[in-house]
Amino acid sequence: MKHLQLPTAIAVMNKINFLTLTFLITGLINPTPVSAEAITSSQAISNLSLQAPNVPVPKDVVAEQEKIWKKTYENYIGSSFSNELMTAKAISYTLRRIKTQTGKNSAVVYLIPTEKQLKILLVTPKNNPVTKNIQAANKEALLKITKQFQTELSNPREVDNTNYLASAKQLYQWLIAPIEKDLKAENIDTLVFCVGVGLRSVPFSALHDGKQFLVEKYSVSLIPAFSLTDTRHSDIRNFSVLAMGASQFKNLEPLPAVPIELSTIVQNKGGSHFLNDKFTLENLRSQRKQKPYKIIHLATHGVFQPGSASNSYIQFWNTKLQLNQLRQLQLNIPPVELLVLSACRTALGDQQAELGFSGLALEAGVKSAMGSLWSVSDAGTLALMTEFYKHLRTSPIKAEALRQTQIGMLNKQIQIKQGQLRQAGLRAGTPLPPEIAQLGDFNLSHPYYWAAFTMIGSPW
């Protein structure tokens, strides 16, 4: 192989992403594309059985799945992405680099529902990718339990019982248990889920092994495809926040806790907040021009609906911003580290709505996004967001800050009692607005309050 001379290499690096160049030089990216038909028609994977615990995956299978899902999101959003297609070897290399930078040992879990079985592909920093085929979790059976799980968790009338546990345990047995030995063997602490139809609105944090929730063992994030994920790491602890939102709407239910949410977030992380008639697209752009905020927090209704991306929207004070218009905000110039939607909801089980939710970071052009799968109560949202930004001051990893927040709610370290929000480590509680205080106390330990919130895109 002919080596590049130093001046030539520098010139190339000025034109090509450094990481991509590294992959090309080391051979981690195969420049020759493999047709999707060659994979989808292959019987190599389908002949693998669960009885073979660790079957090496042909090195192009992961790349081909990446190609399929990349195309799926391009069709949904209506635009093409020039991102390099990542092979399994390149993903493992990236995970090793991230571990060196963050100390987090991450794995990518591909969940691919088919008519006959669930295919699991696991990519870790060290070992060859492995596959598991779960025949009991065929598409019909899997989506039936998934729908049951979502329905039980998202119902605010069920917060005083644990009816969700049966489906939470079954999903754990199908999705996590088959790869658990592999995760433990490499001391994995962060799971990046890249999943297919019907699974993009699963609240993975609330899966249960019979003793613990998944979130008690792993940080969790959801990505559209690894090739479409910005894996560059920046320490988020010192970044301030631009917090905007509305408490009153013309045709949507009010969010009375938003004023407290915005002020408390800025108090925790520094930055600026704008409420109601100051919550406009024009003001957001103006504030970003004055200061390149790395965290954008929008306390408003975000709705992911069936149909094309134009059907889903984020409600600003005076307009609805359609999902396919998010790029107009230019949050990628300079890149935003984290976009938070604190009051969104998704049409659970609908393929197009799920694409909108799981592709939120991609659509917005940001590194990471956080949203909720269902409409969590105003009080529950206030509790989670207040605690989340407190953890962002000390955790350099976004998904880990969310994990610690969820564990805190699960363990009743964050409570709403006697008209106050009470947090562990703080002597004084935060008084709540009368509209919330009059509703009484809340049992925030139930996953209805915390499991809906999902880190989308890069967990790092």
Write out pLDDT tens, residues 326-339: 998 999 999 999 99
Write out pLDDT tens, residues 144-201: 999 999 999 999 999 999 999 999 999 999 999 999 999 999 999 999 999 999 999 9
Mean pLDDT of the chain: 89
In one-letter notation, the amino acid at residue 345 is R
- Does domain 241-457 match CATH 3.40.640.10? no
More confident residue, 246 or 442: 246
Write out pLDDT tens, residues 186-244: 999 999 999 999 999 999 999 999 999 999 999 999 999 999 999 999 999 999 999 99
Kindly report the pTM of this predicted structure. 0.86
Start-to-end CA span in the chain (Å): 35
Q: How far apart are CA 271 and CA 353, in angstroms?
A: 32
Answer for the pair 369, 337: CB distance below 8 angstroms, yes or no. no
Two structure tokens written together for 394? 């000390």
Answer for the pair 323, 313: CB distance below 8 angstroms, yes or no. yes
Phi, psi for residue 369 in degrees, rounded to 5: -140, 160
Phi, psi for residue 343 in degrees, rounded to 5: -145, 45
* Structural domain boundaries in the chain: 51-227, 241-457
Any idea which of 47-56, 120-129, 277-286 has the lowest mean pLDDT?
Answer: 47-56
Write out pLDDT tens, residues 267-311: 999 999 999 999 999 999 999 999 999 999 999 999 999 999 999
Residue at token pair 């938070």: 340
Write out pLDDT tens, residues 5-41: 444 444 444 444 444 434 433 333 333 333 332 333 3
100 CB contacts (<8 Å, ≥6 apart)?
none
Q: How far apart are CA 460 and CA 450, in angstroms?
A: 20
Answer for the pair 117, 134: CB distance below 8 angstroms, yes or no. yes
Dihedral sign from CA coordinates of 327, 329, 335, 340:
negative
In one-letter notation, the amino acid at residue 460 is W
Quote the percentage of the chain above a pLDDT of 70.
87
Structural element, H or E, at residue 151: helix 139-153
Residue 130 has pLDDT above 60, yes or no: yes
Answer for the pair 229, 458: CB distance below 8 angstroms, yes or no. yes
Two structure tokens written together for 167? 């489906």
